[in-house]
Amino acid sequence: MGCISPGGFALIGEAMERCAFPAGARILEMGCGEGDTSALLEKTYGVKATGIDSSEALLRRGRERHPGLDLRRGEMEMLDFSSFEFDGVIMECVLSLSPLQLEALHEAWCVLKRGGKLILADLCRINPDPAAVARARETAKEARRRPHAEGDCERAGDAPSEYCLAGAFVMESLREAFEEIGFETLFWSDKTDLLRAFAAEKIFAYGSWEAFWQTVLPPGAEMGRFCRADVRAKDLGYFLTVLKKPE
């Protein structure tokens, strides 16, 4: 599959250089897909990578492509690891897809060692309408206040997000979540130019955004598994940030 995120391996390389993990550091990649990024991390940076993904089909492909790479079935909102187990966590274009984003960030916090770093790259809204942001947050809060009913777990993917508008983060809201959990922001950079170049390249090569995804999706998978935002929207941006768990 290769890297299918804006900026590709170069973007992850920039973050890894900033983190300066020592050789042998343990890195967890959430939403690893076929494990190409995890394989690159081990080969280029000498770290020990573990990848988790919810798609067994993608993991099966990854194990065939990268024998010996530690790829596991798992959910980012409920990690099956001990506390303080990893030096770093990577979430590349996956947190915005989670139905429980705050829980996923909490899980990253728990498995990180003190002083560990979280690399996060994802979609965001550029200058979002404050009224729309307020409505989205209130809708999410109302949904949380509703009593649980049978079938709620199966519908978790449809739950409204307090931190997103139409599949992309509102940075002010997301930064509040970082602070609430306890993360320190070491670095943040606008990478919207990479998103636009990536989308233009794929649409030109495949004829449409949807046609591109059909070439990488496992049989029976929906495009929403990978991207819920319209990449053609003028207010869609992209960012890279590195967060630190205090020592």
Q: What is the mean pLDDT of residues 23-48?
A: 95
Residue 71 has pLDDT above 90, yes or no: yes
Summarised one tens digit per residue, pLDDT across range 141-156 is: 777 665 655 554 544 4
| Residue 155 confidence (pLDDT) | 43
Copy the structure tokens of residue 78: 């409920």
| Residue 154 confidence (pLDDT) | 47
Give the closest residue to 59 by CA, choosing from 83, 35, 77. Answer: 35
Q: What is the mean pLDDT of residues 95-124?
A: 96
Q: What is the mean pLDDT of residues 129-149?
A: 78
pLDDT band at 159 (very low <50, low <70, confident <90, very high): low
CATH homologous superfamily of 8-244 equals: Vaccinia Virus protein VP39 (3.40.50.150)
Q: At what angle do helices 56-65 and 36-45 cross, to 10 degrees?
A: 40
Residue 232 has pLDDT above 80, yes or no: no
Residue pair 169/104 in contact (Cβ under 8 Å)? The answer is: no
Q: What is the pTM of this model?
A: 0.88
Neighbouring CB atoms inside 10 A of 130's CB total: 10
Q: What is the mean pLDDT of residues 125-134?
A: 92
Residue 180 has pLDDT above 90, yes or no: yes
